[in-house]
Amino acid sequence: MRRREFIGFLGGAASWSLTARGQQHTAGVRRIGVLMNYAADDQAAQTRLTAFVQQMQQLGWSEGRNLHSEIRWGAGDAQRIQKAAAELIALAPDVTLVTGTPATAPLLQATRTLPIVFVQVADPVGAGFVQSLSHPGGNATGFSNFEYGTSAKWLDLLRQIEPQLSRVAVLRDPSVVSGAGQLGAIQTAAASLGIELSPVDLTRPDDEIDRAVAGFGAVPHGGLIVTAGGAARAHHELIIALAAKNRLPAIYSDRAFVDAGGLIGYGPDRVDQFRRAAGYVDRILKGEKPADLSVQQPTKYELVINVKTAKALGLDIPPTLLARADEVIE
């Protein structure tokens, strides 16, 4: 998709009134809703949505010809997400694509009939979105972005970068459904390695997070693990800056942090999830039901390392680890 077309795809929905939107549902044109739990200017989110749009085109769906899209950006704000979810459901789209647990929950509170395809939901069963991964059983299905074993892998990778690692602060949102599972996996791995853990609540004010990380960085041989969740994404600039200021090696669940200056990221390929989500949206538009489409777990993971950040921290990345990386940012 050309840049001008993509800008139209992203921005066009925001300029119409509710009355005008209602008039857009013409014969032969299917309507999809999109609720992104990001800010509209988030580059990683735009990249992921571009992948979805391009895959929809490959499947024969194009904006203005046989498809009309309504897009909302939640920017990690609960009230904004709630309002956007209500707006989208009021428009009765044929299917809605939604990112993350905080945005999926209000959609399912608003409707148990209109089809929903979610991406980047860590524990859809635990959150009550589906009955089981193999048999969702309701009006929602999609793509889980997490396996708890990944959390233990974060600790292993961090220790490879800092062999003397003895203390790790785990920056997390305790309200996230998957948070306990992520922390539990890290705790199990830490116990076997003799590493001390210190959870840091990312829902606290920025100045409190600053003090917690600064205090932790005052003692040698520390590191940071930033778990998956909307709070981490909302605070990503602060977290990356604090890791640099306190000279702490940090690992993240999402390559977007590394693109923004973080040290290392390991997690599911989120762009791939959006491409795969287009396949589910296509199948639903052609008559299949979410209840019959099993929830898919990640099939592609990516390891991304920022060598420039490593040099700034005085760290030497092992050549074996660099060789395994899917991408090295110089």
Residue ranges and CATH numbers for the domains of the chain are 3-146+270-299 (3.40.50.2300), 149-268+302-329 (3.40.50.2300)
How much is the pTM? 0.84
Q: Which residues of 198-209 are buried (b: 16+ CB within 10 A; e: fewer)?
A: ebbebeeeeeeb
Condensed to tens digits (0 to 9), the pLDDT of residues 53-75 reads: 999 999 999 999 999 999 999 98
Condensed to tens digits (0 to 9), the pLDDT of residues 99-127 reads: 998 899 999 999 999 999 999 998 899 88
pLDDT of residue 26: 61
Tell me: pLDDT of 94 over 90. yes
Report in angstroms the alpha-carbon separations of 31 from 5, 23, 237, 298.
18, 12, 35, 27
Mean pLDDT of 255-259: 94
Nearest-angstrom CA–CA distance, 165 and 196: 9
Tell me: pLDDT of 3 over 70. no
pLDDT of residue 25: 53
**Type of residue at 17:** S
